[in-house]
Structure 1
Amino acid sequence: MALTPSTPKPLWRLPIIISPFFLWGTAMVAMKGVIPDTAPFFLATMRLLPAGGLVLIAAMIMGRSFEVSWRGWFWIAFFGLVDGTLFQGFLAQGLVRTGAGLGSVMIDSQPLAVALMARWLFQEQVGALGWLGLAIGLAGITLLGLPDEWVISFFQGHFTLSEVPADGLMLLQLLFDQGEWLMLMAALSMAVGTILIRYVAQEADPVVATGWHMMLGGLPLAALSLIGEPQPWAGISLTGWGAIAYSTIFGSAIAYGVFFFLASRGNLTSLSALTFLTPVFALLFGNLFLGEVLSPLQTLGVSFTIVSIYLINQRETLTQWVLSKWQLLHEPPVESKS
């Protein structure tokens, strides 16, 4: 089931392939709506532990193999630490400090990292258009992640190093307090997790491994919540519990189960690049339900990021189109016979 852009896909498969990105985008909005009434580590725990149990139950009903070697448990535990604990931890903390739509765009910068790692580890071809997309994406992430005043000062020629805190710890605190950099760390964690599923799938069933990695990844987050977040459930309304249930069942159990099953079989660069759909859904629903508005520079950064991921995902199709046009322009004219 190759997921390269040049492979035609039956129409009935398209909703399945697109579903994780729709569910992630809408779950981001649901999480942002409930996070003022709870605590980030508790919310991250609720996205992982119950969802992992649901995935394992579904795998049992589907009759999937639960046999895992000791080497497989190592990969699953590492997978759980990176894509479970780190990803959901950074995501929940980042949502406290940024909007759902902008946060989703930062999260979905991870195809840039996936493309580089897949090229290095699995020799997946990126191509000229892919590298162009990566460059545009880096520009977009810069516009999203740096303070607007830094970017404006730089292009006006007034930016000096005096505007950057001299103390490295103060600089890190400034960037992480914004939330966007926490989202970038979450994106890198998910990118590594996307790569790891290839190794995990060699030792265990990918759906079963997805369930176990959620369970194992949720345990450290649950411990952090118990230690530092007293009664984080006390202020959650019935609507809030509904948002958590949606994020757990649809945004985690179903979305991650489908995504990592596909990632274990298809082209990682192309599949991961489809996440350009996620910020579109998150920005749309964030605007409708949360009234979120981006600054002009952040909007430009969003545009760069989406263009970047589109170029990466469609690089083979676009390259073939350019080559066909080039050949037509340079074909010798056909002489007419009188």
Structure 2
Amino acid sequence: MESSVRDRLLTMLAPVSWGTTYVVTAALLPPDRPLLAALLRALPAGLLVLLVVRRLPPAPIWWWRFLVLGIVNFAAFFPLLFFAAYRLPGGVAATLGAVQPLMVAGLAWLVLRTRTPARQLVAALAGVAGVALMTLTAQARLDPLAVLAMVTGVGLMALGIVLAKRWGSPEHPLVSTAWQMTLGGLLLAPLTLAVEGLPAALTVANAAGYTYLATIGGALAYVLWFRGIERLGPATVSLLTLSNPLTATLAGLVVLGQTLAPAQVAGLGIALAALVVGQALGRSTPRPAEHRPQPAGR
């Protein structure tokens, strides 16, 4: 039990750190450079972890698996995330991101044949409602392309959770983290140079923002995230992402001086309750048989 609680808390640190992405993007990063933000969040973090582990993928099959996961989790997801972060209010992006547990439930049934308990689905729906109430306002701007980018990105991240659960981890989660981020970053590099190029100069604030995203929001967060995917069920992991919009809202209060109306306070309470109850239900519900990863030679 203590190990399970510790695994949940450590895994939750990842979406908590990601909840600061919107504030960091708005306050520290240069405008309209989603590809550069994606590249500098993925590649330096991947190389840093790779320097620590210093291991090649253990079998040929893991090269393409890491490549697929690197595309899903980083090369495709990060540009979509930052495109949406630049063009959508944090509240709209957070609400769209909150549907991820529902996407994971559907993909887990299709790919893993794992049914998410109805009580956890109700908790996920309550989480979406709470986040929407907490973050959406009548003045929220809806950029259709940014909304599409965010929904697609959330779907890709949900797919990444399910695929990582299906395939497992060949060794330590650090190996998986290192190669996914490195391969994803290497794919982003030529696209970034061709489309956006490099800025003529970076301010101290820009450098601080990119460094934070690469270390705290990148290397450290994804090491904890992939560790959690390996140890916890997909529904349990996906419900932890509700801490992302909660953190984004609190960061807006502290850093940007935003305030909450009574309805938003109620939404904050509903989303927090959904997060806590969803984790409690995950502990009380018998876990289905683990989907064993296929042998590396297949």
TM-score interval w.r.t. the shorter chain?
Answer: 0.7 to 0.9
2:87 aligned partner = 97
Check if 1:236 corresponds to 2:226. Answer: no
**Offset at residue 281 of structure 1 (A):** 1.4
Question: Which of 221, 246, 250 is residue 212 of structure 2 equivalent to?
Answer: 246
CA apart distance, 1:313: 3.0
What whole-Å deviation, never above 9, does each CA across 1:230-277 have from its counterpart, x for those lacking one?
A: 43x335310221111011011010000111122023212112211222
CA–CA distance in structure 2, aligned partners of residues 224 and 28 of structure 1: 23
89, 108, 111: which one pairs with 1:118? Answer: 108
Equivalent residue letter for 1:41: L
Q: Which moved more, 1:50-59 or 1:110-119?
A: 110-119
Q: Which residue of 2 aligns with 1:325?
A: none
Residue 240 of structure 2 is matched in structure 1 by 274
Between the aligned partners of 2:225 and 2:165, the Cα distance in structure 1 is: 12
Task: Spell out, residue by residue over 1:292-336, the C-alpha distance to the aligned partner (whole angstroms, 9 max, x if none).
Answer: 56899888877665555555433356789xxxxxxxxxxxxxxxx
Structure 1 stretch 70-79 or stretch 43-52: which is displaced more?
Answer: 70-79
Query: What residue in structure 2 maps to residue 50 of structure 1?
Result: 44
One-letter code aligned to 1:75? R
Work out the CA distance in 1 between the residues paired with 2:136 and 2:15.
26
AA of the residue aligned to 1:78: V
Q: Which moved more, 1:291-300 or 1:264-273?
A: 291-300
- Which residue matches 2:99? 109
Equivalent position of 1:29 in the other structure = 23
Q: Which segment is superposed worse, 50-59 or 195-204?
A: 195-204
Aligned to 1:223: 190
CA distance in 2: counterparts of 1:294 and 1:112, whole angstroms: 27
**Residue of structure 2 equivalent to 1:130:** 120
Matches of residues 147-226 of structure 1 in structure 2 within 5 Å? Answer: 148=138, 176-177=143-144, 179-201=146-168, 203=170, 205-226=172-193
Query: C-alpha deviations, 1:186-220, integer Å up to 9, x for none?
Result: 21111111112124435564321221111221233
How many residues were matched structurally?
A: 286
Larger CA deviation: 18-27 vs 238-247: 18-27
Name the stretch that deviates more: 83-92 or 118-127.
118-127
Deviates more, 1:131-140 or 1:289-298: 289-298
Residue 67 of structure 2 aligns with an amino acid whose one-letter code is A
| Residue matched to 1:283 | 249
Counterpart of 1:215, as a letter, is: T
- Write the letter of the residue equivalent to 1:94: A
> Is 2:57–2:175's contact at 8 Å kept on the other side of the alignment?
no
**The structure with more radius of gyration:** 1
Aligned equivalents of 1:15, 1:145: Cα separation in 2: 24
Q: Give the match's secondary structure for 2:239.
A: helix
Instruction: Indicate how the Cα distance of structure 1 residues 308 and 14 shifts in structure 2: closer, same or farther if over 3 A, else same.
Output: closer
Structure 1 runs not aligned, ≥5 long: 1-6, 151-173, 321-338
Identity of aligned residues (%): 27
Distance 2:94 2:48 in 1: 24
Cα gap change, 1:93 to 1:291, in 2 (>3 Å):
farther
In structure 2, relative to structure 1, the CA distance for the partners of 1:204 and 1:71 (3 Å cut) is: farther
Give the conservation status (yes or no) of the 8 Å contact 1:77–1:213.
Answer: yes
Q: Is 1:263 equivalent to 2:229 in the alignment?
A: yes
> Separation in 1 of the partners of 2:264 and 2:169?
40
Matched, 1:9 2:3: yes
For residue 82 of structure 1, what is the aligned residue in structure 2? 72
Are residues 131 and 281 of structure 1, via their aligned partners in 2, closer, same or farther at CA, if it must alter by over 3 Å? closer
The one-letter amino acid paired with 1:59 is V
Report the Cα offset of residue 53 of structure 1: 0.6
Secondary structure at the aligned position of 1:314 is classed as helix
The one of 12, 15, 26 equivalent to 1:18 is 12
Does structure 2 retain, via aligned residues, the 8 Å contact 1:75–1:199? no
Q: Which runs of 5+ in 2 are unaligned?
A: 287-298
Q: Which amino acid aligns with 1:246?
A: Y
Measure how far apart 1:176 and its partner are. 4.7
Deviation for aligned residue 1:136: 3.9
TM-score scaled by length of structure 2: 0.79
